[in-house]
Chains A and B, each alone.
Chain A
Amino acid sequence: MASPPTPSPARAGGETAGAVPAERIYKHGRVPGNTGIWVGIFCVLVEFLLLFGVYFVAKAHHREAFLTGPDKLLTTAGVAITLLLLTSGYCMVKAVETIRRDERRKTLGWVVGAIVLGFGYPLIKFFEIRWNVANGIDGEAGIFYTTYYYLTLNHLVHVSWGLLGLLWVAVRTALGMYSARDHGGLEAAAVYWHTTDVIWLVIFPFFYVLR
């Protein structure tokens, strides 16, 4: 993915040159986080592209089911999850901003905020699925709902990994292991977390808006 590192701190975007370790500056520009996380992120993107393919094929074969399917789902739950993820993502943006200024206590506050909001997602999902099942919308309620569970639960799994990563980052932040000069782990967790945002921004309209 990336060419061998070259020491060119001038590519650090909004950061001061001295705040970015030279090993993260590559020939084609700065790599946020670390190269390992990007391998994982690209795998996730490919995986979800395939899953979106399943959605499009199912929709092409069952137009009527996908036309009426969203009517029975709780739009409020989908909106709440979107707002939680976007706000949690904003907290991680602020966490990265503050660690670059070496404001470690503030960074911890933002990471904890991101985690608290992030845990709202599985909580809402739990109540949403309970409501669904009470209203006869389970995995066998029809092709639209099977696809809905298939994609949304898959996304929930990826969000769970992201939350575990954020918890790990919170512990390391609390232990003072990140600084303005060395915060690649925090940035890696942040970009993964934002990737789950991007994927949810596709899933949300697929099941709650598009007909």
Chain B
Amino acid sequence: MGHAERIWLTLVGLTLAGAWLAETGHAGWPLAFVVAGLIAFKGRMVIDHYMEMTSANTRIRRVLHAFVVVVPLLVLFSHGWSDVLRRLTTLQ
């Protein structure tokens, strides 16, 4: 089995794990952490291995890596501090 096949299998496995989580109907901090982790890890795998960013232009790589760091952080922020977000986005 080659490198691309291993990456594909890992991504498929993590996707199925996410689907299982969805079916359990869990909510709360553990789910928010798992989802944030899955977005960061799967996103990073596609960026590094499918898009070959490990050997690519550093500026492009940093932007893509930042994308899969910022979005999971926003997931956690919106889960834990939704009151702050609601207050910041309410027109007085």
A positions within 8 Å CB-CB of B: 1-2, 11-14, 26, 28-32, 38, 42, 45, 49, 52, 56-57, 59-61, 63, 67, 70-71, 75, 78-79, 82-83, 86-87, 89-90, 92-94, 97, 190-191, 194-195, 197-198, 201-202, 204-205, 208-211
Contact = CB atoms under 8 A, between A and B. Distances in A.
A78 B21 CA distance: 13
> Interface of chain B, helix or strand or loop or mixed?
helix
Given A59-B82, A201-B39, A90 B46 contact: no
A75 B56 contact: no
Given A59-B78, A93-B50, A71 B25 contact: yes
B56 to A, nearest CB: 5
A187 B74 CA distance: 31
B18 A56 contact: no
Interface string B69-88: 01100110110001101100
A30 B82 contact: no
A83 to B, nearest CB: 6
25 contacts: A13-B54, A28-B57, A28-B58, A29-B56, A30-B55, A45-B63, A49-B71, A52-B74, A56-B78, A67-B27, A70-B22, A75-B19, A75-B22, A87-B12, A89-B46, A90-B50, A93-B49, A190-B51, A194-B50, A198-B64, A201-B43, A209-B19, A209-B21, A209-B35, A211-B27
Interface of B: 4-5, 7-8, 11-12, 15-16, 18-19, 21-23, 25-27, 31-32, 35, 38-39, 42-43, 46-47, 49-52, 54-61, 63-64, 67-68, 70-71, 74-75, 77-78, 82-83, 85-86, 89-90
